[in-house]
Amino acid sequence: MSQRFQRSAVMILLGVLMVLPVSVAAQIRDADPSAAEEVVLMPVGPYGEKLDNCKVASFLFQGAPQHRNVERRSLFNGLVGKAVPFGPYLAYLTCDVPKGVRSITNGVASSVRVQHRSEFLVISSHRHIMHYQDGGPRLQVRIEGAFDTSGSLWVKLVGTFLNEVAVAKVGRDGVADIVVATPGDHVLLVLATGKLVCTKSLSLASPWDQPGERYVTINVEQGCQITRSYGAVSRE
């Protein structure tokens, strides 16, 4: 690149900055390339419950050991944060819980990651999540209908409001055990090598509300139709 071309490029850039409003030019100059300009938090219950009067009680950095558990709550005004450094965080929000809602106590918490200049993060959890032992509340998925037992077949449970994903392999007996299946609304996907077999929207009850082993039996030949279940109902 010639020196003449470099000088021209610099002059053009300076000219652009000169015609921009002072505030915009300052933002371009001072923007931190390792931080998000804006982070918006959306608190919601595990079943989609609307929460009011939420406040950021804690926004703890969970990255490098030397900076681990650094509190970033002060970067938020209400539910909007500015200049939040990139990285993983543990967010805890206190909220007013609607009367009759048992799935939430005081607020919601979630592990999140800030990695883009503008972030929209859903914060959701179930009230009993901290009380689980041995992996958490399980869900047994039983597959009915013809399927190829020689290849790989697995199920994937994706939280609708919860920031959680769980995967389990379907055995030759047609059963998959999901070790951690947090109560709330989810989408269950049945997958095979190279294709999506079928999907089903599920609402999983808390084992404190419905004690006992939760299970769902689905027929893959009928588009993941539920034939039997306990502690899990279709949301469709």
pLDDT digits (tens, 9 = 90+) for 28-83: 334 556 899 999 999 999 999 999 999 999 999 998 777 778 999 999 999 999 99
Please tell me the distance from the alpha carbon of residue 86 to that of residue 28, in angstroms, as a whole number.
18
pLDDT digits (tens, 9 = 90+) for 81-113: 999 999 999 999 999 988 888 888 889 999 999
Token pair in block for residue 30: 């001072």
Q: Which residues does residue 111 pair with via DSSP β-bridges, in sequence order?
A: 90
E strands, 97-179, are 107-114, 118-123, 139-144, 153-159, 165-169, 175-178
Q: What DSSP letter does each residue of 44-92 carry, written as one string?
A: B-TT--B-EEEEEEEEEE-SSGGGTT-B-GGGEETTEEEEEESEEEEEE
Is the whole-model pTM more than 0.85? no
Instruction: Return the CA Rg of the chain.
Output: 24
Please tell me the distance from the alpha carbon of residue 39 to that of residue 42, in angstroms, as a whole number.
10
Assign residue 201 a region: left if phi > 0, alpha if psi is -120 to 50, beta otherwise? beta
Q: How far apart are the first and last CA of the chain?
A: 61
